[in-house]
């Protein structure tokens, strides 16, 4: 196996210089760096990460944790999060993915095992995990949910504002009987989107009706069941705001199964703008907040904080956007 010392002999430099050149150090002269990289490529050099980790006391592992993978995390949400982090950390790091609820205690989560952690936080119940990670002095970026300023790096969107915009769009199109299919109980996003829905109704002077609240779990099946429940109401809604796109797809299916159509009979708006939402029939009007981009941004910040542990903690709010497609019909304004 080719080693750094072999490259150093051929380049007539120290092995420290080779190591710095291979790791992209700006302190190496460009000509020297070019020479070293050409020799490494010619010899098909590959880093020995086991030895490297022992020397540098690094694991070369990034942890990606969810509140739960099995409860309340849709397949599309999970996939987009993993894609965003994975494409950012590159080949130098391995990615370890788990749900916090898989652990009885957090003793297995320590600095020797993880160089850094990205947490896709969905619940305030994650505070114990966050506290443990910070106690272990592991660089941490929290996505999706606002945490105490200065506690850790934080990347999120304003879910309340996004939901407000979606429901306002329905109101502007004449709808007054607007229902909501909510996400999983206890998740911060569920509460924020509910708050945005309620605030839009209040601002337009529309009564908030208890019977128009249907519980979901952020998956298609729960969206389907919740929509079936709403269809049994004596005065059914003319529009439904679904707290994510997966539940919106389930709702659309329930409407079709009942012999009705979207948007002629019932308008539907989703949240997230996952990849398949533009391919539904009809294409789904939804709130875009790119989970993949949020996750990639979080991973970028994590890599920077691993290299510079003393950098100030930052909070980044990625704006959402209402994407108008064909699942909403303009109707004559109701009384």
What are the residues whose beta carbons fall under 8 Å from the beta carbon of 113, sequence distance 6 or more? 59, 61, 63
Phi, psi (rounded to 5 degrees) for 295: -70, -40
Q: How many angstroms separate the CA atoms of 64 and 87, rounded? A: 13
Higher model confidence: residue 72 or residue 238? Answer: 238
pLDDT tier, 181 (very low <50, low <70, confident <90, very high otherwise): very high
Q: How far is CA 64 from the centre of its chain?
A: 11
Contact status, residue 171 vs residue 178, Cβ threshold 8 Å:
yes
Give pTM, 2 decimals.
0.77
Fill in the DSSP letter of residue 84. H
Read out DSSP for 194-219?
Answer: HHHHHHHHHHTTPPP-GGGEEE--SS
What are the residues whose beta carbons fall under 8 Å from the beta carbon of 271, sequence distance 6 or more? 159, 162, 163, 166, 193, 241, 242, 243, 244, 245, 248, 286, 287, 289
Predicted local distance difference test score (pLDDT) of residue 77:
92
Q: Flag whether pLDDT at 20 surpasses 80.
A: no
Fill in the DSSP letter of residue 281. S
Phi-psi region of 18 (alpha: psi -120 to 50; beta: other; left: phi over 0): alpha
**pLDDT, the chain, mean:** 92
Q: Flag whether pLDDT at 332 surpasses 90.
A: no
Predicted local distance difference test score (pLDDT) of residue 54:
47
C-alpha separations of 286 from 24, 76, 121, 150, 216 in Å: 42, 15, 22, 32, 17
Q: How many angstroms separate the CA atoms of 3 and 6, rounded? A: 5
Contact status, residue 247 vs residue 281, Cβ threshold 8 Å:
no
113: enclosing H helix or E strand: none
Contact status, residue 78 vs residue 127, Cβ threshold 8 Å:
no
244-283 pLDDT, tens per residue? 999 999 999 999 999 999 999 999 999 999 888 999 999 9
C-alpha separations of 66 from 25, 33, 108, 174, 194 in Å: 34, 40, 16, 39, 22
**Across 230-239, average pLDDT:** 97
Residues comprising the chain, all counted: 335
Contact status, residue 272 vs residue 323, Cβ threshold 8 Å:
no
Contact status, residue 284 vs residue 248, Cβ threshold 8 Å:
yes
* DSSP H stretches of helix in the chain: 4-11, 15-22, 30-42, 49-56, 75-89, 127-135, 159-172, 188-203, 220-231, 245-257, 291-307
129-171 pLDDT, tens per residue? 999 999 999 999 999 998 888 899 999 999 999 999 999 999 9
37-84 pLDDT, tens per residue? 889 888 888 776 555 554 456 888 999 999 999 888 988 899 999 999
Fill in the DSSP letter of residue 115. S
C-alpha separations of 277 from 64, 78, 158, 268, 274 in Å: 25, 16, 21, 12, 6
Contact status, residue 233 vs residue 226, Cβ threshold 8 Å:
no
The residue behind tokens 């999060």 is: 81
């Amino acid at each position: 196996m080719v080693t750094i010392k072999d490259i150093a002999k051929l380049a007539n430099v120290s092995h420290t210089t080779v190591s710095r050149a291979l790791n992209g150090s700006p302190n190496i002269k460009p000509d020297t760096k070019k020479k070293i990289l050409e020799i490494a490529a010619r010899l098909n050099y590959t880093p020995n990460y086991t030895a490297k980790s022992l020397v540098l006391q690094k694991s070369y592992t990034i942890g990606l944790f969810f509140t739960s993978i099995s409860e309340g995390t849709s397949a599309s949400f999970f996939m987009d999060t993993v894609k965003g982090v994975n494409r950012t950390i590159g080949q130098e790091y391995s990615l370890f993915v788990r749900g916090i609820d898989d652990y009885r205690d957090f003793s297995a989560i320590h600095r020797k095992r993880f160089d850094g952690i990205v947490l896709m936080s969905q619940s305030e119940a994650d505070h114990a995990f966050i506290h443990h990670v910070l106690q272990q002095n592991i660089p941490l970026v929290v996505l999706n949910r606002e945490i105490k300023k200065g506690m850790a790096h934080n990347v999120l969107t304003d879910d309340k504002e996004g939901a407000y915009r979606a429901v306002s769009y329905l109101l502007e199109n004449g709808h007054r009987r607007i229902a909501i299919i909510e996400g999983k109980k206890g998740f911060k996003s569920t509460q924020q989107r509910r708050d945005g829905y309620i605030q839009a109704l209040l601002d337009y002077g529309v009564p908030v009706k208890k019977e128009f609240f249907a519980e979901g779990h952020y998956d298609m099946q729960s969206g389907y069941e919740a929509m079936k429940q709403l269809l049994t109401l004596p005065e059914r809604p003319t529009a439904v705001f679904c707290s994510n796109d997966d539940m919106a797809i389930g709702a659309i299916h329930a409407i079709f199964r009942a012999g009705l159509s979207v948007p002629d009979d019932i308008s539907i708006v989703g949240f997230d703008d996952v990849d398949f939402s533009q391919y539904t029939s009809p294409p789904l009007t939804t709130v875009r907040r790119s989970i993949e981009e949020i996750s990639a941004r979080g991973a970028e910040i994590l890599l920077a904080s691993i290299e510079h542990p003393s950098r100030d903690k930052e909070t980044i709010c990625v704006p959402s956007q209402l994407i108008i497609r064909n699942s909403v019909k303009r109707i004559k304004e109701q009384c």
